[in-house]
Amino acid sequence: MPENHNDPAIKEAAALLGIPEDKMTPEILSRIAEQYQRINEASAPKSIFAFFDIEVFGYGIFFDKTFPIRGRDLADICRECKKAVLIASTLGSGIDMLLRRSQAEDMSDAVILDACASAEIERVTDLAESDIIKFLSPEEHLTMRFSPGYGDVPLEDSQKIISALSADRRIGLKLTGTDMLVPMKSVTAVIGISERITGRSKDCTSCSRRESCAYKKRGGSCDIQNK
């Protein structure tokens, strides 16, 4: 729960709003903190994960010899892994109603609220990652977190993560017919477990939005890789 303006989650929300640090004003910072508070009040964060044996092919990964998740980019990242974690996290459906309500009330608060919710789900997923690390042996390391929609991993493969984790029943996470996550502020991802330390950062080259990214269009980046 971010309590002060230097909180990384608040900074991330500011980054998502496209506000560079040197252009930040106390007024906006306090508005972000205020909206973040609303997220904290309505949020019911939940994360689940499970470990799987994997086989990596050129075009994707096979989990437990049962189901594949496709994507060359993902396969490249997990090239040396024999195990992987599937993770799913969500802020819960209360946030969806809050976001809708806020848009009906005041769009200027709504854009901030939306960014705060995005920052918060990243934070919640990061926390789950720290839990995952506790299960690893000293020789094991996590690769970067890779979600359907990144690179060439199809969005529809979220369904496989949801099924394998029973995320529907356990944390209320589902997909629309077009493979969007519901509740809206949720994450599904694959993290490889490697015996070598790999680059943990997301960089723009493997991002599905590299062509369309608003930050890139403005000559910057979303700063996610600098965390």
180: CB partners within 8 A, 6+ apart = 155
Closest CB to another protein among residues 1, 97: 97
Closest CB to another protein among residues 166, 199: 166
Q: Which residues contribute to the site for another protein (CB under 8 A)? A: 17-20, 23, 28, 31-32, 44, 49-52, 63-64, 66-67, 92-94, 96-97, 99-101, 103-108, 110-112, 114, 149, 155-156, 160, 163-166, 168-169, 171-172, 174-180, 182-184, 208-209, 211-212, 214, 217-218
Closest CB to another protein among residues 90, 194: 90
Distance CA 147, CA 73 (A): 11
- What six digits make up the tokens of 96? 């969806």
Summarize the chain as % helix, strand, coil (round to 5).
45, 20, 35
Closest CB to another protein among residues 120, 199: 120
Closest CB to another protein among residues 107, 133: 107
Distance CA 37, CA 31 (A): 10
- What six digits make up the tokens of 215? 């930050």
- What six digits make up the tokens of 227? 């965390």
Least distance (Å) between residue 155 CB and another protein? 5
Least distance (Å) between residue 184 CB and another protein? 7
Burial class (CB in 10 A: 0-12, 13-18, 19+), 106: exposed
**At which residue do the structure tokens 């496989």 appear?**
160
Least distance (Å) between residue 182 CB and another protein? 4
Instruction: Give me the half-sphere count of Cα atoms (radius 13 Å) on the Cβ side of residue 125.
Output: 24
Least distance (Å) between residue 202 CB and another protein? 16
Least distance (Å) between residue 103 CB and another protein? 5
